[in-house]
A and B are shown apart, each in its own frame.
Chain A
């Protein structure tokens, strides 16, 4: 649409890509603003691409000359001209777009018609001009999706719906305490529309009050959530520690963005793993989960709720800007197939003498009872001061503190987490390289591995959803491979945890640029590692014989 956009985005295009240029915008002034003395269309800068010069603005204004719009207003429809052209190139149906425009501008029919006219003009331009030798047709996806009813969904929307569904499956009213922050605010917006499902949202005066209110709601018997991004997590850390100490269920949703501090609010950066794991005073273990694709944010919300409710613990859910704002088709699940999350509140004393001990634990889960206000006979006090095992009374006893610290840790370590499965394809069964990722790197890793395999490389991949506790089979799995490559959009936080926990010298590949990995670049790294490991295999084999 203009020289600045060409300059900013050229590097993202592979060689041979097609570029449609609005030549009307390539004026000397606009070129100078973009840092070009002469037009790259003339001097051949984009020579490696197939450039289609189109006088988009002129053509749009011409198409709308009978519309009654001013020249300036007519110009504004040029994006619809471009959309029409692309719709022709990709054989997209046009009815939906036209219907959308007529609905959007229902109150201003003259604008609706102008946009539709521009859209059709663009489509017709594609069909009649001979400058486009190639058009594309993308067949409907068949294999990639399981049968069922699908809708388009973003990560934040999926997460919000997952929270509502989790509360519904627990048959309890959801409570959200939150403070607006990019890129998490959409979850607050979405949940605030669902009073019909018993959802209560509270926009607090700050991050601390947001999670504080959620903690209060958790004490009162609600599945409670707070949503934020990295800087907000820093403010909430104290309260998360309190929730660890009180042992109340609480979901902390962190839509990670570039840091530290304000960092890059609109850019993605899954670099809060260590903050989620360790960002509290004292020994304060918290389970950590990370969805891998936008649609998975729904399932991750349910899984996080399961852990929080079952084990009475705060739980971190680490999404990021890429997942939050990315969208994809999502199969709408049948509610009956979703897990039952009902909990049993304590209703009767749990001691033979008729008294109630708030920290008398379930021997299997080590979870204390959840006795909510309004329950007669179970009046008790929770507190952030260390408490006596069982009774919950304040205790400064050294031996008791040691017991409580180890018990809280054992509760988290003992959380039931599914085993990690490895993705291999035929012929990769003997791969010596495992590429292990977490969170939103799933897309780039998968695309890169596909590329490497297509070129004959042998690679196994696995993707971690549970980061604390790790799946029980993770250590064994890591040791099975000659090399484990861990690509991360931080300086190697998962790699650090894996090395510390399993004494496996994983290879860390990192990029912290605020944008996702590019599949081609990642493929080069994976290919190199795959070849190295196959060479090592050859060396080992030689050595044996």
Chain B
């Protein structure tokens, strides 16, 4: 009755047309996650992807699993109910910097502190893509966008600091374009015996190039235990159980380009039609 567990990447591709803008980093994340899923060893029908609203949130439509494209900012709450009612399922939340850190901040931190069996993937593109280019909670100070023509005034959130502050037990950052590292983060998140929050964050390291960033995601826990990790577009440090000391100190300046395994994100030639025009340097 249950699905054959010798699954391939193809098995996780839905019949839906993927509709991100050309050059968007979300394509790379989708491909990586689809490629990673067969390694989970979990039948397709026991996997659920839940998303909110935003660039990142069409993700469940493209996964041939159970899924819900819910509403703005509430995916962690919905996924919490799912995971509580059905501990047998592998529950993943796909979200973005606007969805997770702005409209849903409360649900995110409480999902993290509860240590529920969830994986959260946060695609951090540091911009509101779906609504066509307003600044987001992770946009750097001074960023010029449609809604901040004189530059953004606000201090940005550091997703990693936020997650650790909320007592997430697994937090990692990776890069959409670094498939090997992203896959490794997913693997570690799934192996983590508590909820994990992998963030896939595309910190706009370089300059105007930029693609739609991938936001961090919480990887759902293995069937019995949850974990969270962030994937971000630029990987920094070890994704494994970060400690407070591993966080970068908060400064008034935009975060430095990512350090760590590997080099900074390569500049992308393709650009997101929606976002890139607005992504002038901070």
Contact = CB atoms under 8 A, between A and B. Distances in A.
A382 B84 CA distance: 19
A213 interface: yes
B14 interface: yes
Contact of A213 (B53, B63, B71, B80): B80
Contacts of A224: 81, 85
Given A239-B71, A376-B2, A221 B80 contact: no
A373 B90 CA distance: 10
B29 to A, nearest CB: 17
B107 A381 contact: no
Interface of B: 1-3, 14, 16, 43-48, 50, 53, 60-61, 63-71, 74, 76-86, 88-89, 106-107, 110
A239 B68 contact: no
Interface in A187-225: 200, 202, 204-206, 208-210, 212-222, 224
Rank and list the top 8 A-B pairs by shortest CB-CB distance, nearest first.
A212-B77, A213-B81, A216-B81, A383-B69, A216-B78, A216-B82, A209-B77, A217-B85
B106 A205 contact: yes
Main secondary structure of the interface of A (DSSP, over half): mixed
B81 A214 contact: yes
Given A205-B110, A375-B45, A213 B61 contact: no
Contacts of B88: 374
Contacts of B76: 209
A284 interface: no
Contact of A374 (B68, B71, B89, B110): B89
A177 B82 CA distance: 11
Interface of A: 173, 175, 177, 200, 202, 204-206, 208-210, 212-222, 224, 238-239, 242, 246, 373-385, 393-394
17 contacts: A200-B84, A205-B107, A208-B74, A212-B78, A212-B107, A213-B78, A219-B68, A221-B85, A238-B71, A239-B74, A246-B68, A373-B46, A381-B14, A381-B66, A382-B69, A383-B60, A384-B69
Contact of B107 (A209, A376, A385): A209
Q: Which of A204, A209, A218 has the most CB of B within 10 A?
A: A209
A216 B64 contact: no
Contacts of B84: 175, 200, 202, 213, 217
Contacts, number: 138
Contacts of B60: 381, 383
Nearest to B2: A376
Contacts of A373: 45-48, 66, 82, 86, 89
Given A217-B82, A222-B85, A384-B71, A206 B61 contact: no
Given A215-B70, A373-B46, 11 more contacts: A175-B84, A177-B81, A204-B80, A210-B77, A212-B80, A212-B81, A213-B77, A213-B78, A220-B81, A222-B85, A373-B89
Contacts of B50: 216
Nearest to A391: B15
Contacts of B65: 379
A376 B45 contact: yes
Contacts of A213: 77-78, 80-81, 84
B45 A379 contact: yes
Given A376-B45, A385-B69, A216 B85 contact: yes
Contacts of A214: 81
Contacts of B68: 216, 219, 246, 381-383
Nearest to B113: A205
A174 to B, nearest CB: 10
Q: Which of A173, A206, A373, A380 has the most CB of B within 10 A?
A: A373
Main secondary structure of the interface of B (DSSP, over half): mixed
Contacts of B79: 216
A230 B64 CA distance: 39
Contact of A394 (B45, B61, B74): B61
Contact of B64 (A205, A206, A379): A379
Nearest to A226: B81
Given A220-B85, A378-B45, A381-B14, A215 B78 contact: yes
Contacts of A220: 48, 81-82, 85-86, 89
B61 A216 contact: no
Q: Which of A213, A215, A375, A378 has the most CB of B within 10 A?
A: A213
B14 A217 contact: no
A209 B69 contact: no
B110 A209 contact: yes
A246 to B, nearest CB: 7
B74 A209 contact: yes
A242 B71 CA distance: 7
Contacts of B16: 381, 393-394
Contacts of B3: 376-377
Contacts of B45: 373-379
Contact of B81 (A208, A217, A380, A384): A217
Contacts of B70: 212, 215, 242, 383-384
A217 B48 CA distance: 12
Nearest to B82: A216
Contacts of B14: 381
B43 A376 contact: yes
B13 to A, nearest CB: 12
Given A373-B89, A393-B16, A216 B80 contact: yes
Contacts of A177: 77, 81
A507 to B, nearest CB: 42
A409 B196 CA distance: 41
Nearest to A373: B66
A126 B124 CA distance: 77
A384 B51 CA distance: 11
B77 A216 contact: yes
Contacts of A209: 74, 76-77, 80, 106-107, 110
B46 A374 contact: yes
A421 to B, nearest CB: 39
B86 A374 contact: yes
A213 B91 CA distance: 13
Contacts of B66: 373, 379-381
A202 B80 contact: yes
Nearest to B46: A374
A382 B67 contact: yes
A276 B115 CA distance: 34
